[in-house]
Amino acid sequence: MANNLATKSIDPLLVYDVNQDAVQKFIETHPNARAASSPGDIAEQAATVITMLPESSHVESVYKAMRDAVDKDSILVDSSTIDADVSRRVAADIMSKNATAFDAPVSGGTLGANAGTLTFMVGAPSLESFEKVKPVLCHMGHNVVYCGCNGSGQVAKLCNNMLLGISMIGVSEAMLLGTRLGMDAHLLASILNTSTGRCWSSDTYNPHPGVIPTAPSGKDYKGGFSNKLMAKDLRIAMKAAKDASADPVLGTVAAQIYNQLSVTKDFDSLDFSSVYKVYFKNKIDR
Contact of 154 with 87, CB cutoff 8 Å: yes
Closest CA to 133 of 115, 151, 120: 120
Phi, psi of 65 (to 5 degrees): -70, -25
Q: How many CB atoms lie within 10 A of CB 93?
A: 15
265 carries an active-site annotation: no
What does the alpha-carbon distance between residue 161 and residue 183 come to, in Å, rounded to a whole number? 29
Q: Which of 157, 228, 232, 277 is catalytic?
A: 157
- Helices then strands (H, E): number in the chain? 13, 8
Which amino acid, one-letter code, is at 261?
L
Give Rg (Cα) of the chain. Answer: 20
Contact 161, 81 (CB under 8 A): yes
- Going along 18-159, which residue ranges are E strands? 33-35, 48-51, 75-78, 100-103, 106-107, 118-123, 141-148
Closest alpha carbon to 230 in 139, 140, 158, 129:
158
Under 8 Å between Cβ of 113 and 87:
no
Which residues touch 122 (CB under 8 Å, ≥6 apart)?
102, 103, 104, 130, 133, 134, 137, 144, 145, 146, 147, 152, 153
- 262 C-beta neighbours (distance < 10 Å), count: 20
* DSSP at 271: B
For the beta carbon of residue 96, count every other beta carbon within 10 angstroms.
10
Catalytic residues: 157
